[in-house]
Amino acid sequence: QSALTQSPSASGSPGQSVTISCTGTSSDVGGYNFVSWYQQYPGKAPKLIIYEVTKRPSGVPDRFSGSKSDSTASLTVSGLQADDEADYYCASYAGSNKWVFGGGTKLTVL
């Protein structure tokens, strides 16, 4: 179980779009459509914002979208807002009832 690879940081100006990537292998991201994304504010618990690669839980704005190509998943945040500034983590099922997270990306709204 090796952690999924995320860029440590990303940034964008209000109103712009930013994409955060999450790279794994054929044993995790590439092998299953069980990629999810989590938003975490400092000192708070993570919150699910995308599941099964592209689906949004009720209440999550449609400015958040997910996709996957081969072993790389992506989270796109459109129409950036100040309160989108947070840490974002991807996660994937890795087979044998195990799960793996990415190292996290700190999103800064300029």
Partner 1 sequence: EVQLVESGGGLAQPGGSLRLSCAASGFTFDKYAMHWVRQRPGEGLEWVSGINSRSDNIAYADSLRGRFTISRDTGKSSLYLQMNSLRPDDAAFYYCVRGDGADWGTSFQYWGQGTLVTVSS
User: Where along the sequence are the contacts to partner 1 (CB under 8 A)?
Assistant: 1, 3, 34, 36, 38, 45-48, 51-52, 57, 89, 91, 93, 96-104
CB of 15 to partner 1, least distance (A): 29
Tokens of 66: 């997910």
- Choose between 34 and 67: whose C-beta lies nearer to partner 1: 34
- Choose between 64 and 89: whose C-beta lies nearer to partner 1: 89
* Main-chain dihedrals φ then ψ at residue 3, nearest 5 degrees: -60, 145
Q: How many angstroms separate the CA atoms of 92 and 4, rounded?
A: 8
How many other C-beta atoms can be found within 10 angstroms of the C-beta atom of residue 82? 8
Q: How many angstroms separate the CA atoms of 69 and 24, rounded?
A: 11
CB of 91 to partner 1, least distance (A): 7
CB of 105 to partner 1, least distance (A): 10
